[in-house]
Structure 1
Amino acid sequence: MINNLTKGRILSIDAFRGITILVMIFVNNVAGVSGIPHWMQHAHGDEDAMTFVDVVFPAFLFIVGMSVPFAINSRLAKGDSFWKLQWHIVWRTLGLLVLGLFMVNTGDLNATATGMPMALWALLFYAGAILVWNVYTFKQAWISYCFKALGAALLVYLALIYRGGNDGTQHLEPQWWGILGLIGWAYLYACIIYQLVRGASGGVFLMIAVCMAYYALSHQSFIRDSEYSWIGAQSGNAIHTAVVLCGMLLSLFFFDEDLDLRGSKLVSRVTGFFIILVVAAVCLRPQYKISKIHATPSWALFSAASCVVVFSVLYYLIDVKRISKWTEFFRPAGSNPLLTYILPDIVYFLLIFLGLQLPDVLGHGLPGIIWSAVYAVLMLFLVKGLNKLNIRLQL
């Protein structure tokens, strides 16, 4: 074991994950609605600003960081060797990268060159993903392996026939890794760092600073305009990793029993962490303006500070005051986050495939905003039903 963590399921983390997914579904859907307020949209890449929408992705990263110590220590407690643990981490990373790769390329598919409509290709991709990463409950393991092999074969086939671009010559390739892929890279680096520093909170804090320093170094002219400009290609991943590490550090503050942070000690440590994040963000803002699109340090630090506040409130309500009944609504999504993440896309492509479309009124102004909120809630109910059917994805 690396850390002596609180035993059992942490409802406040599950609730934070579920709420984040609900908001994610809402903001993704409302992005297609015209005539909505600026604060409901992503800030433009050239603006020195951010909206609550720009905090959703880093909130995912933050939650990944909060979960990493529990995941790694759980596998060690089950008897995983060092190399078996590393293989598990690499396998999860590869899964996220593959999913991100397919999702990014879907919108650029050339139906004529590929030989099938985009909606059908996308639905087959999601079917393959579910077959590969579903958690099966068959008593005979070989049945599970057959389903997984079928899904893997389907993904390989879809990758081979894929053609994109206007001229239909583009193959399946990482134009960028997509949200899931970016989470995958940050997860990989954070897991490596967590093991290197042996779960020490001071080591994690130091590595947050190292990630920020790496970003700053890669954007210096003597690096950017030299033969070492390739270093800058990882600057975005460094910032995303820093957000994951922020979540990891907060998780250690709350749940590492060896730190023994309780009562006023916990409040002062968490408050101090929040202040450091805000002050660092303010100090870095003149040099690196706030921008989600460019993954700047100020954006990451302000986002992490927001997550510290949100989780602390949830922890107080759920784990301290035991006001947790309301979290039951979010639990299905919190326990099955990957399926919940891809489900809106599945519904979207299914509607296209069936030739169905929503009334125009739901694509504008207040009706569109209300529909987006209703749609997000409906997705959580749908996930709850799929959970009962034992459709649960796990990388």
Structure 2
Amino acid sequence: MINKLTSGRILPIDAFRGITILVMIFVNSVAGVSGIPIWMKHMPADADAMTFVDVVFPAFLFIVGMSIPFAINSRLAKGDTWWQLQQHIIWRTLGLLVLGVFMVNTSGLNEAATGIPMALWALLFYGSVILVWNVYTFQQPWISWCFKGAGIAGLIILGWIYRGGEAGTDRLTPQWWGILGLIGWAYLYACIIYQLFKGVAGGIFLMIAAAIGYYILCQQPFIQQGSFSWLGAQAGNAAHTAIVLCGMLLSLFYFDEELGLKGSRLVSRVTGYFAILMITGALLRPAYKISKIWATPTWCLYCAAICVAIFSFLYFLITLKQVSRWTAFFRPAASNPLLTYMLPDIVLYLLLACHISLPEVLSQGTPGILWCIFYAVIMLVLVKGLNRIGIRLQL
């Protein structure tokens, strides 16, 4: 064990994850609706501003960080060796990278060159993903491996036949890693840091500063224009890792029993942490605009501070005040984030394959916004139904 953490599932973290997933589905859907307020849209790269939409992705990163100490300590408690733990981390990272690359390339598929419709290719991809990463309960392990093997074969074949671009000559390549891929890199780096510093809060705090410092270093002319320009390729990953580490540090404040932060000590530590994030972000803002697209330090720190505030409120409401019955609605999505993340795309490609389109009124203004809210809720209900029939994904 690295830290002496609170045992059992942490309901405030689950609730935070479930709420973030619900908002994610809503903002992804509402992005296709015309006539919506500007505060429901992503801000342009150079706007020096952000909306709640720009906080959804960093909230995912933050929650990944909050969960890492529990995940690593759980595997060690079950008897994993050091090497088995590293294999698990690498497997999860590779899974996220592969999923990210496939999802990014889907919309660019050239149907004529590939030989099958885009919707069918996408549905076969998601079907293969479910086969590979579903949680099976067969008593004979070989049956599970047969399903997983079929899924892996499906992914290899789909990747091999893929052709993209107008000329149909592009292969399946990481044009960018996609949201899942970016999470994968940040997860990998954060896991390494957590183990290197043995879960010591002070070390994690220093690495947050180091990650932000690395991003700033990469923006300097002698890096961008010199022989070290290759270092700049990791600037975004460093920024995202900083957000993951911010979540990790908050988890240690709340749940590391060795730190012993209770009552007023916990309040003062978390309040001070929030203040440091906000003040540092404000000090960096003249030099670095708030920009999700460029993953600027100001955006990272402000988003991390917002996540600290949201989680602290949830902890107060759920843990201290025991107002938790409402969290049951989010529980299936919170325990199956990958399935919930993919489900809207699966539904979209099913509709495309069946040549079904929604009424035009649902893509405009207030009716479109209300439909997106309803759609997000329906996705969470569908996840619960899929769980009941044995479909649960775990990387």
Shorter-chain TM-score above 0.5 = yes
Partner of 1:78: 78
For 2:278, give the aligned amino acid.
V
* Residue 384 (1) aligns with residue 384 (2): yes
State the shift of 1:196 in Å: 0.5
Q: TM-score, normalised to structure 2's length?
A: 1.00
Deviations 1:89-120 (A, max 9, x none): 00000000000000000000000000001000
| Alignment correspondent of 1:129 | 129
Q: Which amino acid aligns with 2:339?
A: L
Deviation at 1:390, TM superposition (A): 1.2
Secondary structure in structure 2 of the residue aligned to 1:173: coil
Question: Which residue is 1:48 aligned to?
Answer: 48
Alpha-carbon offset, residue 46 of structure 1: 1.4
Q: In structure 2, what is the Cα distance between the partners aligned to 1:377 and 1:244? A: 27
The residue that corresponds to 1:317 in the other structure is 317
Distance in 2 between residues matched to 1:222 and 1:158, nearest whole Å:
42
- Which residue of the partner structure matches residue 303 of structure 2? 303
Amino acid in structure 2 at the alignment position of 1:214:
Y
After the TM superposition, which residues 177-326 of structure 1 pair with which residues of structure 2 at under 5 Å, given as runs? 177-326=177-326
Aligned length: 395
Separation (CA, whole Å) in 2 of partners of 1:26 and 1:105:
22
- What is the CA-CA distance between 1:330 and the residue it aligns to? 0.4
Cα distance in 1 between the residues matched to 2:224 and 2:157: 39
SS at match of 1:13: helix
- What's the offset of the Cα at 1:385? 0.3
- Give a deviation string over 1:282-306, Cα, whole Å, max 9, x none: 0111111000011100001000000
Percentage of matched positions with identical amino acids: 71
One-letter amino acid matched to 2:91:
W
C-alpha distance in 2 between matches for 1:46 and 1:73: 41
Structure 2 counterpart of 1:327, which letter?
A: T
Aligned AA for 1:352? L
Quote the residue 1:4 is aligned against: 4
Distance (Å, rounded) in 2 between the aligned partners of 1:340 and 1:256: 29
SS of the residue aligned with 2:382?
helix
- After TM superposition, give the deviation of residue 164 of structure 1 in Å: 0.2
Identify the residue that residue 13 of structure 1 maps to in structure 2: 13
Aligned to 1:28: 28
SS where residue 322 of structure 1 aligns? coil
Alignment partners' CA distance in 2, 1:57 and 1:36: 20
Q: Distance in 2 between matches of 1:340 and 1:372?
A: 15
* CA displacement, residues 234-256 of structure 1 (integer Å, 9 cap, x when unaligned): 00000000000000000000000
After TM superposition, the structure 1 = structure 2 runs for residues 43-192 of structure 1, keeping only pairs within 5 Å, are 43-192=43-192
Q: 2-side partners of 1:66 and 1:376: how far apart? A: 24
Paired residue secondary structure (1:214): helix
Shift of residue 370 of structure 1? 0.1
Counterpart of 1:31, as a letter, is A
Q: Distance in 1 between matches of 2:176 and 2:157?
A: 21
| AA aligned opposite 2:180 | L
Distance 2:22 2:275 in 1: 28
**Amino acid in the other structure paired with 1:128:** S
Deviation per CA, 1:292-336: give whole Å up to 9, x if none.
Answer: 011100001000000000000000111111110000000010011
Provide the residue aligned with 1:335 in structure 2: 335
Question: For residue 260 of structure 2, what is the amino acid of its counterpart?
Answer: D
Letter in 2 for 1:90: I
Are 1:350 and 2:341 counterparts?
Answer: no
Q: What is the TM-score when the length of structure 1 is the normalising length?
A: 1.00
- SS of residue paired to 2:175: coil
Structure 1: any 5+ residue segments left out of the alignment? none
Query: In the TM superposition, what whole-angstrom CA distance separates every residue of 1:255-291 from its partner, at most 9, and x where no partner exists?
Result: 0000000000000000000000000100111111000
Quick one: distance in 2 between partners of 1:131 and 1:320? 40
| CA–CA separation in structure 1 for the residues paired with 2:52 and 2:353 | 33
Q: Secondary structure at the match of 1:251?
A: helix
User: Residues of 1 paired with 2:16 and 2:379: CA distance?
Assistant: 17
Which SS does the other structure have where 2:25 is aligned?
Answer: helix
Aligned partner letter, 1:97: L
Q: Residue 232 of structure 1: CA displacement?
A: 0.4
Q: Aligned AA for 1:225? A: Q
Cα distance in 2 for partners of 1:383, 1:212 equals 37
SS at match of 1:392: coil
SS in structure 1 at match of 2:300: helix
Q: Cα offset for 1:37?
A: 0.2
